[in-house]
Amino acid sequence: MLKPYQAIPIEECNQPLTEISGLITIDPHPYMSLGAPYGDRSPFFVRQGILEKLRTAQAYLQEIRPEYQLAVFDAYRPIAVQQFMVDYSLAQLAEGKGLELNQMTETEKTALMSEVLKFWALPSHDPKTPPPHSTGAAIDVTFYDANTHTEVNMGAPIDEISDRSLPDYFASFRNAQAVGFNRDRQLLNQVMSQSGFQRHPNEWWHFSYGDQMWAWLSDRKMAIYGGLESL
């Protein structure tokens, strides 16, 4: 089943991928550590325009919160990696619920996959429906605290399949820690949106510019970045 943003047409601008530089990247990369099949590709590549916007966002962050820096968790993702991570996430979710995938009915697997697909795009090879990360226009980012030399606790780890990943999950909480989580999530959105990025409705960490999701969220008629493997 198509997601709403996948109906947006793509007018590919043919901008090249470029390696992320001048920003903190999460190393070792978690998906590579799991054995995701990147081949000769790197997860820390984006389209040239995305890198420029990331640098603008970083400069803005330094002005308003000097001790914080943007940290890139994940960026470009080949479709084979998308498939690997969807399969991995499905298996992890089943395990977390005490279920065995090979003993589940197709109906049960479909219900479990629907939870996964709230957070992961289908690994489509159709050039009209590329996964956002496979366009080089989507990035997963968090904050790094230069004072403590650690990632900032944002209330839920990146990729957690639960309601805690929803951007506004902590908005109604009143305890000090939850208020801090919500404040930092809103700050991240402020910093990224100031540079033109749009945030994924279900993920506090996922932002994009120029892909189908960005076009859908910003009420644009056309995306400018399509799947790189179809170029």
Express each pLDDT in 18-36 by its tens digit.
Answer: 999 999 999 899 999 999 9
* Contacts within 8 Å (CB) and 24+ apart, 187-196: 187/64, 187/65, 187/68, 187/143, 188/141, 188/142, 188/143, 188/154, 191/57, 191/60, 191/61, 191/64, 191/70, 192/57, 192/141, 194/56, 194/57, 194/60, 195/53, 195/54, 195/56, 195/57, 195/60, 196/53
Q: What is the pLDDT of residue 207?
A: 98
Residues 113 and 74 sit within 8 Å (Cβ to Cβ): no
CA distance 212 to 223: 5
CB 169 within 8 A of CB 155: yes
CATH topology of domain 4-230: Muramoyl-pentapeptide Carboxypeptidase; domain 2 (3.30.1380)
Q: What is the pLDDT of residue 31?
A: 96
Note whether 207 and 108 are within 8 A (CB).
no
Residue 110, classed as helix, strand or coil, is helix
Q: 40 pLDDT band (50/70/90 cuts)? A: confident
CA angle 75, 178, 195 (to 5 degrees): 35
- Calpha distance 135→111 (Å, rounded): 28
What pLDDT is attached to residue 29?
94
Alpha carbon 208 to its chain's center: 8
What is the average pLDDT across 181-192? Answer: 98
88: Cα separation from own chain's centroid: 16
Rg (CA), the chain: 17
Tokens of 103: 């003993």
pLDDT for 1-12, tens place per residue?
A: 688 999 999 999
- State pLDDT tens for residues 140-175: 999 999 999 999 999 999 999 999 999 999 999 999
Residue 107 has pLDDT above 60, yes or no: yes
Q: Average pLDDT, whole number, for the chain?
A: 95
Query: For residue 28, is the peptide bond before it cis, meaning its omega torsion is within 30 degrees of 0?
Result: yes
pTM value is: 0.94
Identify the active-site residue in 12, 67, 151, 203.
203
- Please confirm, yes or no, whether 95 is among the known catalytic residues: no
Give CA 180 to chain center in angstroms.
22
